[in-house]
Every structure is written in structure tokens, then in C-alpha cells.
Structure 1
Amino acid sequence: MEELKNTQFSSAEDAASLLLHKELVWEKNIVNFELYDAVEKGDVVNFVDVLGKECAERKVPLSDIFDQVTWAGDSLLHVAADFGSEQIAELISCQFPELLTRRNVRGDTPLHVAVRSKNSTIVKLVLSQYAIEKSKHDGLKDKEITRETNEYGNTPLHEAVYSDHFGLVEEILHADEPVAHYLNKSRSSPLFLSVMSPDLKILNLLLQIPFPADQPLPQCFGNSPLHAALRERNPDLIREILGKREELIYLRDEEGGTPFHYAAYTGYVEGFRILLQNLSEKSNQSLLERNKKGSFPIHVACKRGHVEVVEEFLRHELPINPYVLLNQKGQNILHIAAKYGRTKVVQHLLRNQKIDQCAINHRDNDGNSPLHLASINLFPKVLYFIAQDKRINVNITNNHDLTARDIVQLEFKTQETVRKLLANSALIEAGVSLKLNSMLRLQRQQSPKRDLLLKDPNTFLVVATLILTLTFTAFFSVPGGLYSSDDPNSKKTGMAVLDHKPGFWIFSIYNTIAMFSSTAACILMLVAQTFDSELARKATLIATVCLYNSFSVLPTPIGGHALRSFIALLHYDNKPEDSSYQKVIKDNEKFV
């Protein structure tokens, strides 16, 4: 190896050949298959022979050979660590120590690969060799190989815990204990992950590692093995952790939640009970701490609807009444249960002996009682149970001077739903009053007024005049015509030919009504354009009725064409180029 390292190939031709090779493989030397095979077999003598042959054939220095990587970005040291070729790994790490921190495409160093392969010998070799070379090379002084992370944020210790290999965990901790509290991209530390390992020795080993001195215990986010044990619902593990490190009960997650918050959120009753038992001989400090949102564990349980957790909490002897525990909005546990519609929790709280009239009628920062919050969110069953309690003041008002029923009634202004109807019925049955009854009734009766003002009154007048003209003309051009002066019977001269037909008289009557109605419409529209807006509105309304009356009695086909003309003029008055408008006008011209 020393001879190969000292061999130089520096001719211009060889340099050009090497440059071309790098371009062909995307500026990366891809490891030769024969060399890869030699590493896999683990024969160090054969490996060195293949290296010499490769250098001679390609006429490149040995350092360029060790720049070769697989398509996954693995160096030769990665390959040796993966296949457990211990002698080759030792040879490479001694001759080319810079490969100890080389990464592949997944961000893994050779130590990550060795840990994942569960090869304790190579792990020890890499750690010891790195410790030796670190003092010799300035580029390694600022690095800790045990803290190098891959693309998932995992350190070699994370990988060791995932592998459930106690020996590897012990070896890495021996080299670097603080790495036990490093977080990966999932915000989990090796200590947290050790709870999921079937090997309990790994957890016990990591529990012995002290937390960083510069990081207060409650702020070691992602480190709590107690949270992990609660998630796994493993009571024996919870007792094991509390027995080894009882102070972990004060450890919080990123949301500021203690193990009590986590147990309340997941509804894990047995875990919550174990935590309570652990507090019985000490203090209730952790049980009475808020998270970042200002909620106590009992608030979280009420919000999630976990009745059994709420029952365990209320059964525990506390120095204060649980109903005086308020969140940042000034809401007690009954507020929370009512707000999120947790009917069973509400029933349990109302039956509890610790609740009193003050707690039931307590108002939050907005002045809302539990009854108000149930009304705002429309939970009929919750409203029913709270309103039926004799201790409640059903007519209590909030900061806006609204009762619970006022809130439900205001919701009716948007849309009536089954939930609103049921909620309103529950409040009516309980005798909740409406403070805004008269005002709400007035609001419901008043519909938005629409001024009956036409976009162009002249259009309306033209249509009315058209109908008047048509009906008036119909008196002189009656169906069947008139008897002329040449008729033998002089008494019939000027009389309608069809006057003896019933249909003729129906036509005449309807035509007369249409003519007088259209005449009235014309007069009213002239009035509407002359006087004030109120009189104009009334005149326009009556004129519209008259005009519609004209349409209804016009004899067909007069009525049909007139109606089509009217609709066209109303809808297309501002669009003379519209094809529909032009068609109606042409049809009307043909009719006239």
C-alpha cells in the first residue's frame, strides 16, 4: 500500500484520459467491479493486488482509486463496513483516514453502515482509528464521528438503538455519552427510541446517562422516555422508568405537556393512574402544571372526551377544588366539556359532588357560561343536560348581554338546521328567556326592500304603448272583418261578421281589458317619472300589475308576441347587438 501510494502517474496523456473518464461517469469515479468483489470477499492480499493492477492499467495514483464510489455513493470503506471485511476496513482507515467521515447519498458515514450491519469489531475499529487520527489531522479536530447525522438526522447511536444491539449502544456511549440526547429529524432522541426496543438493557443503559448540564430537565424536548412508554401503553415500562428516574415525570414535550398531559390526550387510563400513584408520596406539582396553551391535564381530558381519565383525576386528592383550575381564557373543566360537545363528560361532571353552583354558572373572560359555549357550538344534548340542572341560572348573560337562547336565535338568521331546532327546543323546555325577542322578531319580519325602479322606464312605457296600439287596432280589424256597404242587408253595414259567435265576444272582452290595462300602465308610468321617489315606486308597482294583467288577457297570438317582446326589452335593452334580441325584434316585426 505504501509503494502504491508513492507511485506517481503525471503525464499529460494520462491526465487527459482521467479527465475524460470523470466526464463519462458524471465527474465521479465509479468503483471497478473487480475491486468491489475483492472487498466483498475480505481477502486483504487480493485486495492490494487488485489495487496495484487498477493503478497500473489506468495509470492513476492510488488516491484517485479511493475516490471511487458505488452508484449509491459508498466509498470502499463503506463497502468494507457493510460486508464486515475487517482487515480491509482497518487498512483503508489507516491509509486514508479522511474516508472515516465520507458520506454516501443517504448521508451515512462508514460508522452508520457498520452499526446498521451490526458489526461490533468494525465499529470499535472506526471509533479507535478516528480517535487516533483526530489529533493528527486539523480537518477532524472540530468533528465528532459519533455525532455525524445522515439524511434522517440519525446519529450512529440512533441506528444502534434501531438495530436493538446492546453491544453497539454500549460501544458508542463509551466514546460519547451526551449523544444519547441528540434529536433526529423526527425530534426523537436515542433515549426516547430505546423504549420501543425489546432489549430492556438498552433503556436501562441510556437512563443512566445524565442530561446536559446546560439544558434544564423540563426543556429536553423529544427526550422523554416516559412519553414514549405512555404511547406504547406499557405499564411495566412506565413503572421501570419511574423507578430508575423518578424526576422524568417533570419532563415536557415540545408543546409543554407533561406525561400527565400526554396520558390525558391519549386517554390511557392505566398510565394516568400509575403517574398519580407515583405522585401520592411526593407532590402534585406536575399534575397542576399548564402546557403552552395554558391547559391543565384535566382540561385536555375533557376536550378529548376521556371520561375515565377525568374520573381518575377527580378521585385524586388535590389541595384545591378542580373546578377552580382555569385555562388562559378563564374556562373551567365544565366549560371545556360543553364547548367541545363531550356529553358523557358533562354528565359525569354534573353528578360529581365537588361541583357547586358557582362552578356551573362560572363565566369565562368573554362572560360565557358553559351553557353559552354549548349554544355557540350547537350541541343539543349538552344543552339539555346543563339546562336541566336545578343549580344553573338559565337566564345568565354574557358580556354582550345575550342569553344562551339569544345566541341560538341569532344563528337562525343564517339558516335553520336540525341542530339549531333541537338546541332551541332544549332551551325553551328549560325556560331560557329571549332578551332580544322583540328585536329579533322585527329583524325576521323585515325583509330587504327592493326599490321597484326600472333601469330604463322608457322601455316599460314603450311596451305598454305597443300593447295599447295592438289592442286598439284590433277594434278596427276584428276577426272575420266587417260587413261592407255593398251588402244586401243595409242594417248590417259596419257590423262584425262574426258577432253571432261566442268566441268573438270573448275576444272583444279580453281585448278591451288589455287595452284599458295598458292605458292605465302608460298613465302611471308618466306619473312615476314626474313625482317623488315614493310615489314613483307605488305608481311603478301598480303599472307593473296593470301590464301583467294586459299580458294575461291578451288574445293569442297577440299576447305571446307581446310577452316575448317585453322580456326581450327588459333583459337585452342594453345589448342591441345580442342575437336573441335581434331575433325577437324580427319576429315581432313579422307579426306586426
Structure 2
Amino acid sequence: MDQILTDVCEAGDIDDFYLLNPDLERIDEIPFVDTPLHIAASAGQTQLAIEILSLKPSFGRKLNSEGLSPLHSALKKGHVETAKRLIKHDPELIRVRGRERITPLHYVAETENMDLLGEFLYACPASSKDVTIRGETALHVAVKNSKLNCVLVLLGWLQRTNNREILKLKDENGDTVLHIAVSTNQLQIVKLLIKNMKNINEKNTQGMTALDIAIGLPDEQSREMKRVLRSAGASTTSSLKKDVLLSDFLGSKETITEKFVKYDVNLRKGLSNDVRNALLVVAILIATATYQALLSPPGGVTQSDGSTTTTASSGDRPGTVVLPKKYFNPIMYTNTICFVISVGLIIFLVQTSRYSLPLQLSLVFMMLSYMISLLAIFPPGKVAAYAVISSSIVIIYARFLGSMEYVPGLRWLLGYDRLKLQRKVVLSKYAKDGFN
């Protein structure tokens, strides 16, 4: 780029810029170049920078010979207001990967620019998941550089936006942010992380947990670190269950539980939102009608004073049905089957998450209420009551395979690691890039 255009961009003169009438298309064809936007952003000429970005949006994603985008350049020179205006015009500039795939968010996390860190997260939430060529998120970078304030901001953001799964991400060495915090003896950050992480026993590529790393620290440093980790439930690799290898898993026999998971995933992926909503409406109507049929059975029930709408034997206890078994049994068998299937369908159709868990639990308890009511009104020889109990257990069991992650204590009951791997394997055929 010629010197006259460079001088105009550094001066920030919009009129002179238009008088020069630079060939922006030609500049854009050069792979690595200091565009007019780079120069204006580096000089803190905010108005000209926004003008150029409006004329040529692609310049916002161009890298110069140093591997920096215009936003990177503005940050490097400390022009905070210019950076704010650029991301206001195009928030996706925060995700532009510069040299070593370092994004502007990584940069502000490393330099502890608290003002911009919050602004960047708010403007482009997805940027918190971006990783460098070393597999580092912005949180990895903040912990690695001992930026406690940045860690506080990032953890607060993840907590408020319910994105704590980012804490599970590992770098090229298989280290989570907890591994890094322990290895660099950052006790305060370790305490913050274990409060927010679901699993503090993740292993890195060397097969070490955070506690294994703490044990390897000098004695005077590791004592308090080990105490904090152990009090939070941390374990060493030797005391943990051996990881399930993908090759071993694929070579093993598929269990009934894993078949349930496969069926669940395939059905979910094959349903459109319209079909899902239609099924939910029909299932709710059927569940309502069948539950009401149980509460008001045909022929009524015996009363405490012995009165009924139908003649009943003197030995019938209050609350039992008075309709002859040859009529009542088929009615209640079919009613029970419809109820169990409809409630099971509702539980299945409700997306699995920590937010849907209360609704799923309420449906399960409604099913239990149905069982108890059925036991109460059914005459001796209550086959249907046991049928609904066994059917309900199967549906509850099948459905909560997908909810175990959100229910404390259930992860180990049914081989959660294998089920999680099964879900990934089945999902891989729906994903463009393999495993999610």
C-alpha cells in the first residue's frame, strides 16, 4: 500500500481518503496485507476505521504480515474505544482467528483488559468456546497467565449463561483449566474452579488427574492444595475406574441399555419440531383422559356407607370398583396401557436438560399416583396394577438414561461412561465433522 494512503489513514481524514479513491478490491486480493482498516485501527482513528469497515466488511477479517486482524491491531496499540466501536459494528470480529488462531478474546484475557473482556463476552457469547492451535480457550489463557480477575469474569459469565461445559474443554496436552491451575499452584483459582466444575477428576494425556499433579508439587506447596482437592472429592488416577476406550467399546456386545440410548437418539434426530409439538398435544390429551377414567371408573366405586350406583357384595371394601371383573378388567388394562404410553411419550418428547428435569419428575410422580390409585380401586387379583408398575419402571429407566448427568449419584449406576460413548457414536452419523 502506498505511503500517501498510509498517511491519510493514520491521520484519519475521511475526505482525503475519498479523494485518493484507493483500489480496495486490489488490496483485498493480497493474502496478508496491512489494509487501510489495519492502519486506521492501529492509529486509533475510530471514525475512519468504521467508514472503511462499512465500505469493505471483508477487511475486518484480513490478516496482516504479523497475523493480526484490524481488531487485534487496535488492541495491541491500546485503542479501547476503537475496539469497542468495531465490535459494535460487527460483533463477529471478536472471533477472527489471528496468528496461532488467537482471537481478540484470547488477547484481552491474556492482557487482563477487564473492560473489554466483559464487552466481548456480551457482544459475542460464542467466542468463549474458540480455541487456539494449542486447544486453549480464553479461560485457559487467563489461568495460564495467572489473571485472577479475568478468571472471575469468565467464570461469572459461564455461570450466568449456563455454559459451564466449557470448563471440560482440554488443551493439546489434555489439561483442563483445573490441571493448569494446580500445576501452577494457583490455590485461589483452584477453589473457584472446583465450585463450578462437575467432574474434577478428568485425566490429561499423561493419565493424570488434578490431584495427581498436586501430589507431585513440592511438599510446602502441595499440602493445602491436596486438602482442598480431596475435600471436593478429587481422586488419583489409581483410585478411579479405568476409562472405556473407543476401540474396546466398539468391539464389545451392545447391551440393552445402550440399545435404548441408540433408539432414543435416532428417534429424536428424526423428529421435526412440528411433529414433536403435534405428538405432545395428542399425548397430553390421552394422558388426561385416561387418568380421569381411573378417577371415575365405569360403574363407580363403593362408598363408606355401603351405597353404590350398582349392587355390590357386602365384602367389598370402600373405594373398590363395583363393575364386574369381566367388564372392568379389559377396560382398565387398555386404559392403563394408553396412560403409560402417553406419559412415556411426553417424557421422551421433552428435551433432556437440567431445566426439563423437574417436569419429567412431576410426570413420573403422576405415574406413581396412577399406580397407587389403581391398587386402591382394583379388586383382589390386581394384575393390571403390577402391569402398570412394570411398564412404568421400563419407561422411567429408559428415559432417565439421558438425564443421569443431571441427577447426582446416577452416573455410576448403569455404566454412564459407556452410555455417554454410545450417544456420541450414534450422534456421529448425524454430525458433519464426526463426533460432537
TM-score when normalising by structure 2: 0.48
TM-score when normalising by structure 1: 0.36
Largest Rg, 1 or 2: 1
**Which has the bigger relative contact order, CA under 8 A and spacing at least 6?**
2
